[in-house]
Amino acid sequence: MAKKQHPVVKHPEENPFPAVPSWIPEGKDVRWTPPGEVKYSDVFVRFARPLLVDIGDSEEALFRLRITQAMSAWNLTALPEPARPQYLIEAMQTFPEEVKIDFKEEIARMIERKEKRFAQYRWYIASVDIKRHSEGGMMVSVGVVDLDDE
């Protein structure tokens, strides 16, 4: 079977979304995985897997774009219902035109995946750091705001 051809994309280097959105109560901080807990990045990459499955090691820009799309879908489920349409509009504006159609097709599937298979993880993903691993492939680190934390 031939490998699916992907559009050539350039991903914006800066995250256009605020690290901690205004609807999150004050006093909630971005945090990284504490020792002994399931790694946020492992959970997130498992969630994002359907968007990453056919990307080769040399397609770093596409990998970054798909991770950003997965983050948008994840965060959309964390938002209060009235805020979702505006967030989706803003997220769509950050993606190159050639991938917007694919993202529109994927977003509903990814939201359903989050709500059915990852509902127990109530985080807003505030930061994603992607680095090329020395042994090949990409390494993802995730900073979150835990919405259930008191």
**Structure tokens of 94?**
């950050």
Share of the chain above pLDDT 90, in %: 20
Torsion, CA 69, CA 71, CA 74, CA 75, rounded to 10: -110
Given the structure tokens 């694919």, which residue do they identify?
A: 102
pLDDT over 70 at 28, yes or no: no
Span 36-74, pLDDT tens digits? 888 899 999 999 999 998 887 778 888 888 898 899 899
pLDDT at 112 over 90: yes
Q: Mind listing the pLDDT tens digit for each residue in 6-21?
A: 444 444 444 444 455 5
Percent of the chain with pLDDT strictly greater than 70: 77
Distance CA 127, CA 104 (A): 23
